[in-house]
Amino acid sequence: MILARLPQAFTDFLACGVMEDHLSLTWRQGGCDLVAHIRIVGSGGPIAQAIMEQSTQLTEPFHFQWKKQSWKPWDWKLVSVDQPQVEIPDESEFQ
């Protein structure tokens, strides 16, 4: 759910940065897993402010899964993002 809504969430930012802490990277066949505590910083509208505020209150790390798409060194795809404390409302709640 997080991955599907990322583009919508970040359209409210004028400037955005990602600060990480306690990063770990695990390589596996065909991909890698990245685990890190992340804080979003920047400036923007009310949605951006809410995202930045919520990111500072998270105690659990984010889990990212990347998949190698081909033999090309730059051909990676982010296939999942998980953070148990992040609550993203359904689009139906906005209608």
- The pTM of the full predicted model, rounded to 2 decimals, is 0.74
Positions in the chain short of pLDDT 70: 1-6, 88-95
Tens-digit pLDDT profile for residues 18-44: 999 999 999 999 999 999 999 999 999
Query: Token pair of 13, please?
Result: 């930012």
Instruction: Spell out the SS3 assignment of 33-94.
Output: EEEEEEEEEEEECHHHHHHHHHHHHCCCCEEEEEEECCCCCCCEEEEEEECCCCCCCCHHHH
- Distance from C-alpha of 54 to C-alpha of 27, rounded to nearest angstrom: 29
